[in-house]
Structure 1
Amino acid sequence: MIFKYLCTISSFRLHAHGRSLHTLRPYQQECIDKCLDSLKNGIWRQAVSLPVGSGKTVVFSNLIQRIPAPTSMATKTLVLAHREELLVQAARQIQRASPNLVVEIDQGTRMANPAADVVVASVPTLGRQDSPRLLRHDPQRYKCIVIDEAHHAAASTYGRILDHFASNSKIFIWGCSATLHRHDGLGLSDVFDKIVYQKRFIEMIRERWLSHMRVITVRTATQLNAVRNYAGEFSTGSLSHAVNQRERNLAVVQAYQSLAADRKSVLVFAVDVAHAKALTQTFNRYHINAHYVLGSTGASERERILFEFREGKIPVVVNCGILTEGTDIPNIDCVIMARPTRSPVLFQQMLGRGMRLHPGKSDCLIVDFVDSFKHDAAQVTVPTLLGLDPSLVLDCSDNILDENALRRKNQSERDAGNEIADEREAKFIETVHNFEESLNEQILPKALSSLKALGYRAHVHLNPLRFFELGKKPATMSDTKFSNQLEVVSSGDTNLAALSRFAWVCLSSDRYLLNVGSKMYYVTRKDSLWYGSTRNLRQYVISGSRKMHYTKEQQIGLRAETLAMAIKGMDSLVGSSLSNTMKKQLFWTANWRCKPPTCKQVSMLSKLGIRVPESVKRLADPENQSGVCRPASALKDDSNLQFTSRQTRLTRGSAANLILRLTHGSSKQWKQFESAKERLQDIQQRRESAAAANAIWTG
């Protein structure tokens, strides 16, 4: 019986995925032609962006045979993938497209025949440090390297493989992915020169190459404000603790019962193992036949569940991180997004599981769970992918292909909450709102409570010009803790210490700076993406006097979706060029940062417009001819000072942060904000006065 069942699975694997490769879809043929034309024009490292379900494997399976061999011996192709499902899928598809080629898999205990025409290789197997398997492949015998799911290509394992083949300067590197962005902030420009072809999933739906999509937004009361972030994504453990609650799991099941009970194949995405099991148990408690698929699920058990899911015998499958890539189950007609994410990459991968066409499937229902967050932009939703307000609520009556109608709906919802007609007032409101909104993003709840303990008013601590303003006498705490708090405060963004070990500073909500000696590293937001750049401080001599100037800002190959990803990528770049000793000097915890400020720093702060308290100025006593500032302990018993040393513990690191921010544009940002706020208050006061006068007259 077991043998018969396994035979049934094998037969299904060979036939259920089959499709005619003799007739390519028009865009697939267009993609292949564009790639070959670009190769003729000398672009040897190409990337292609096609959405999930568009047949990326079909494209490169048909492309391989048409790639010309640069030499008589360079005829082989290497296909790289990071998961077994992708390896098997690629090997089968290539064999169907080119039956005359010998295709072999190189993974674990399976060693490819060196004479094979195409080697489909596991990246973990070949890319291990000092992997002997990699040496079996002669770079001069290969004409092409194909990278499936190319958004992973900046990882070190891929780098070791590509370095091995670097001696062959004529090797063609081709990568494909639905999402050519990474989670960790590392750019792909070192791997690919150009995206030669791309197609958006909305285009594919409109042209009917992907299933039509219906979206229903389900808003919950679950709070994500306290969920920690790591590398631009929610921390899995913290997120699971927030969403794996009985009430929310019950809401998922009730949403299924009311919205998707008539759907045949429903895929649910959970946060982690515990969440997947809890959701499955909740489904079963309401007599719904649901199973979970986890990384720990045995291969035969996984095959059985997915086989019955494809056959329609299991209506609901819950998974966590297993069915996001390399899974071809076209009959999925409903996807329940029970796993919040900040990553557009992950969101599109989950969404794409239901977008494949299938006989008898008219559309795919997306149930998009949106949890409460101070700023909804922190959670990716279907509207954010369409360039709309993340808080926009969609229902089945909304046609996602009618972009104009969606924009009108989006605008009407915004207008409903904004009754201000005065354009000048609206402009001031926008300036103040955007500035305060960006500040809220920079303040963690835990940081707020600690800042209140220090006596800082809300938002004032982020203004370098008002750094020393205190609201009340701060609570007693150790000098070390106080010093660390002020170090974070002076950076302008209380999240920075959690994002990086390096002492970054916030210049504005769209621009951040890391100073490394005479070199400046920036990450800047433009059009919702973060980019990296750098410039140097150079010295020159005119008429015997030394002058300093900055070189022109140069862009570097870093592009990221979030600030956390951008900073992590830049940290990797900076760290790779410095010794361990130099890196430690850039840390928040570097010893020099805890020392008293220098006299030059205190003088510079005053020149830059900061109202420095007398207690701080006296740290740089002008009678001290050595030029060394007096230590804070020397002020301990001075009762005539306006502030005690504990209240005004300005460190050398804090002073450096303030000076960097003020000399690179932060003061301009704050002056614009305060000017807009003052003019807005003036307009509102005049309106209130006019309303009061009118009430008296009509009374």
Structure 2
Amino acid sequence: MEFICRKLGLVAAPKLITKPAIHSWRQPLRVLRQPRQWNSAVRTAASSSEIPAIQLRDYQEECIQAVITHVGEGHKRLGISLATGSGKTVIFTQLIGRIPPRNTLGNKTLIIVHRRELVEQAYRHCRLAYPNHTVEIEMGNRVASGYSDITIASIRSLTSGDRLSKFDPQRFKLVLVDEAHHIVAPTYRTALAHFGLGEKSADSPILVGVSATFSRFDGLKLGAAIDQIVYHKDYTDMINDNWLANAMFTTVRSEADLTRVRNDKFGDFALGSLSKAVNTTKSNDITVRAWLANAVDRKSTLVFCVDIEHTKQLTDTFRRYGIDARYITATTPKVERDGQLHKFRDREYPVLLNCGLFTEGTDIPNVDCVLLARPTRSRNLLIQMIGRGLRLYPGKKDCHIIDMVATLDTGVISTPTLFGLHPDEVLKDATAENLKEKNFAANQDSPAAKEPPPSSEVESDLSEIKLTFTKYDTIYDLIHDMKSEKHIRSFSNNAWVRIGDNKYILSEGSGWLTVEHRDYPDEGSTQYSVHHVVVFKSAEGTKQYSRPRLIASVDDLETAVRAADTFASTHFKALYISTRQPWRNYTASDSQIRFLNAAKIREGNIQQGDLTRGQAADLIIKLRFGSKKRFAAKRKQRAKYDERIHHIQELRRRGEVKVGPVEA
């Protein structure tokens, strides 16, 4: 029991008191029959001394109180944003006992998840927390009665056939959704509509969705199911409070060519196409050599691959180097999968490879290295993969995240772009204090603070392959080492152009979209707003512009861009806004060159072959929307920087001592 409590992140405290299930006399007689033994769990014989003592962490109690407060104010559809490893399921189970019945019948709870591992995890938690309640599972051939106190259901089974119909919405007080970033998928929408939660309603259960990555790739849709986020605690908060392990990051250039990789319907890379690009002898060799160079002393490395074939080939590469590496995929038989996972948890072998299995819900706290061998455009997926290594474990100082980055101009989300760095940034060891000082300097107004930083690349020549990587020692270093410009195209396929220190524009003949950032120091918050302006002709034939219309207002740049891109996909022509259009690679036209030279944005004239047509178009947009002064300031700043570097180099040259004649 002590082991179970430790797994849940719980410590000793006063005993938890739960009420036995109460059934109405109006309930059909069939509910009085004991459900199938393999599906129902009731521990009515448990004495109070057998019930584990539970004390919530401070933030867990804060989170629960935030939910209760909003419920008391009449809110029904709530979201909780918590980092992986924060004990979301513990909060789930505690909410069950804290939310009062909604009516004389409505005292039941439904927990909806989307993976088998999450179903079983929630089942174990509920059994532990509520030994006197009936707990049933709706998944596969395990069929719930519809009348248990707590039902844990996989979303696929719940919405299959007529299985949803047996759950009477009036009998439920609470619907909990784990990994709630999936909540606007059609299956979830079907389930929520059944319980009257498809839209705001006074006559519905309480809905609470929990996720570590509370955003959608398109940036717009979560509001269809969640009305407001009531609590947020991210990775940095958790690490700072010592609830999660720290992380150090290394990026390694895999040299994989992603330029021809297709997108799937969600905007991420299509797996089959991605596998062909990544699963090559060279890339796999670089991946294993990068691990040998950076993490050979790590005891438990979890590797994320693209697909089954990539998993097998990369495993073989590890083994050719004499490393005991094993793999698990969705096709691995359950008994074998559980056995391999058990041995990995016991550190019987150092490297476990998988594809698509352990991004959510799996608790492997001993992981002290995560190797990201699959590129992605999904910020959520990247955070989920990194989160697998941040749980605390005895003797574990931190988790080393090794990110195999490819051609970043194709929109890959990597650890640099995740935390606001240039997509070509390569990371290697730097202390937290050094980088915090660097971040402080970057935010000062002095010219020196705004100088372009020198390259921090480190090369390691292992045999015939040269690896290029850079590290940060802590997650704080990575987050706080911010460049002066967010590289917006690392997570958008559209031709966003920066026209101000905090403003970006996506322009087309019919109008434009802007994403603008503002800080509110008094409130300690940041806001990104998306506005749309329409271009039209007046009755006299002159060009007119509409007032900017607010499209979205969010807390982070990526979500703002996703929202704007989703809007643009239905209002703008891809021919003019997509960075993937062939015309952007053509040589700049004569008219573009004439326009740019007339603007005098550089010393001397721009020649025909200096720019592509896309680059010229971006520069023209910058000029038309007021960036000429910024060009001049940047040019002046760069000249000062070059002069300073030249002076330093001259001093170094003078200080060199060489065998031979001394210069006069």
- 2:79 counterpart of 1:47: yes
Separation (CA, whole Å) in 2 of partners of 1:193 and 1:138? 23
Q: Conserved in 1, the CA contact under 8 Å of 2:117 and 2:361?
A: yes
Question: Residue deviations 1:163-200, cap 9 Å, x none?
Answer: 11117724211010001012344421121121111111
Cα shift at 1:112: 0.7
- On the 8 A contact 2:553/2:560 being kept in 1, the answer is no
Q: For 1:502-541, list aligned pairs within 5 A.
A: 510-512=504-506, 524=515, 526=517
1:546-561 mapped onto 2 (5 Å cutoff)? 550=546, 553-555=549-551, 561=558
Of residues 119, 122, 125 in structure 2, which corresponds to 1:87?
119
Give the structure 1 partner of residue 521 of structure 2: none
Q: Report what 1:694 is aligned to.
A: none
Instruction: Give the equivalent residue in structure 1 for 2:563.
Output: 566
Equivalent in 624, 627, 630 of residue 670 of structure 1: 624
Identity among equivalent pairs (%): 36
2: CA distance between counterparts of 1:159 and 1:687?
Answer: 56
Query: Which of 441, 453, 456 pairs up with 1:415?
Result: 453
What are the residue-to-residue correspondences of 1:32-71 with 2, within 5 Å?
32-71=64-103
1:84 partner amino acid:
R
1:556 & 1:136 partners in 2: Cα distance? 39
Instruction: Please give the residue correspondences for 1:282-297 in structure 2 after superposition, counting only pairs within 5 Å.
Output: 282-297=317-332
Q: Report whether the alignment pairs 1:380 with 2:409.
A: no
Q: Which residue of 2 aligns with 1:158?
A: 188
Aligned residue among 109, 117, 120 for 2:141: 109
Q: Which amino acid aligns with 1:201?
A: Y
306, 331, 341: which one aligns with 2:341: 306
The equivalences for 1:327-476 within 5 A come to: 327-374=362-409, 378-399=411-432, 404-405=436-437, 407=439, 414-416=452-454
Among candidates 226, 235, 240, match of residue 206 of structure 1: 240
Q: Tell me the distance in 1 between the aligned counterparts of 2:2 and 2:336.
A: 16
Asked if the contact 2:76–2:205 (Cα under 8 Å) also holds between the matched residues in 1, the reply is yes
Query: Quick one: which amino acid aligns to residue 225 of structure 2?
Result: V
Paired residues for 1:106-185 under 5 Å: 106-128=138-160, 131-166=161-196, 169-185=203-219
CA distance in 2, matches of 1:149, 1:312: 28
Contact persistence 1:530–1:561 (CA under 8 A) = no
**1-side partners of 2:274 and 2:559: how far apart?**
18
- 1:528-677 correspondence runs (5 A): 550=546, 553-555=549-551, 561=558, 565-566=562-563, 569-570=566-567, 670=624, 672-673=626-627
Retained in 1: the 8 A contact 2:413–2:490?
Answer: no
Instruction: Decide which structure has greater helix share.
Output: 1
CA distance in 2, matches of 1:587, 1:392: 29
Kept in 2, the 8 Å contact 1:213–1:365? The answer is: yes
Counterpart residue number, 1:626: none
Alpha-carbon distance change, 141 to 536 in structure 1, aligned in 2, over 3 angstroms = farther
Contact 2:299/2:368 (8 A) holds in 1: yes
C-alpha contact 1:86 1:326 (8 A) present in aligned 2 = yes
Displacement of 1:676 in angstroms is 6.0
| C-alpha distance in structure 1 between counterparts of 2:142 and 2:639, whole Å | 78
Distance 1:28 1:234, change over 3 A: same
Give CA-to-partner distance per residue, 1:461-481, whole Å, 9 cap, x none: xxxxxxxxxxxxxxxxxxxxx
Unmatched runs of 5 consecutive residues or more in structure 2: 11-52, 443-448, 457-483, 519-525, 576-594, 596-616, 647-664
Q: Does the 8 Å CA contact 2:262/2:274 hold for their aligned counterparts? A: yes
Instruction: Flag the 1:417–1:349 CA change in 2: closer, same or farther, 3 A.
Output: closer
Question: Distance between the aligned counterparts of 1:351 and 1:270, measured in 2?
Answer: 13
**Aligned residue in 1 for 2:293:** 258
- The residue type equivalent to 1:357 in the other structure is L
Could you state the TM-score of these two structures normalised by the residue count of structure 1?
0.63
Structure 1 stretches lacking a partner, 5+ long: 1-10, 419-432, 443-492, 500-504, 542-546, 576-584, 589-609, 611-660, 692-699
1:316 aligns with 2:354: no
**For the residues of structure 2 that align with 1:340 and 1:398, how far apart are their CA atoms?**
27
CA contact (8 A) 1:232 1:563 kept: no
**RMSD in angstroms over aligned alpha carbons?**
4.8
Aligned partners of 1:32 and 1:171: how far apart in 2?
Answer: 17
Partner of 1:468: none
Distance across 1 between alignment mates of 2:347 and 2:99: 41
Report SS of the residue matched to 2:222.
Answer: coil
Distance (Å, rounded) in 1 between the aligned partners of 2:430 and 2:216? 34
Distance 1:351 1:409, change over 3 A: farther
Residue 612 of structure 2 corresponds to: none
Q: Secondary structure at the match of 2:453?
A: helix
Closer/same/farther in 2, CA of residues 212 and 28 from structure 1, 3 Å limit: same
Task: Return the alpha-carbon distance in structure 2 between the equivalents of residues 120 and 244 of structure 1.
Answer: 38
Per-residue CA deviation, residues 412-450 of structure 1 (Å, 9 max, x unaligned), is 9833379xxxxxxxxxxxxxx989x88x989xxxxxxxx
Q: Deviation of residue 251 (structure 1)?
A: 1.9
Q: CA–CA distance in 2 between the matches of 1:68 and 1:537?
A: 54
Paired residues of 1:76 and 1:117 also in contact (CA < 8 A): yes
Number of residues of Structure 1 aligned to a counterpart in Structure 2: 518
**2:54 alignment partner AA:** H
Give, as a single letter, the amino acid of the residue that structure 2 aligns with 1:249.
N
Determine the C-alpha separation between the residues in 1 that align with 2:168 and 2:395. 48
> Which residue number in structure 1 is paired with residue 602 of structure 2?
none
Residues 85 and 326 in structure 1, CA contact (< 8 A), matched pair in contact too: yes
Query: Using the alignment, how far apart are the partners of 1:402 and 1:198 within structure 2?
Result: 28
CA drift at 1:365? 1.8
SS of the residue aligned with 1:108? coil
Partner Cα separation in structure 2 for residue 208 and residue 172 of structure 1: 32
Say whether residues 1:77 and 2:84 are aligned partners: no
Bigger Rg, which one: 1
Q: What SS does the corresponding residue of 2:249 show, helix, strand or coil? A: strand
Give the aligned partner of residue 281 of structure 1: 316
TM-score by length of 2: 0.66
How many Å separate the matches in 2 of 1:560 and 1:196? 21
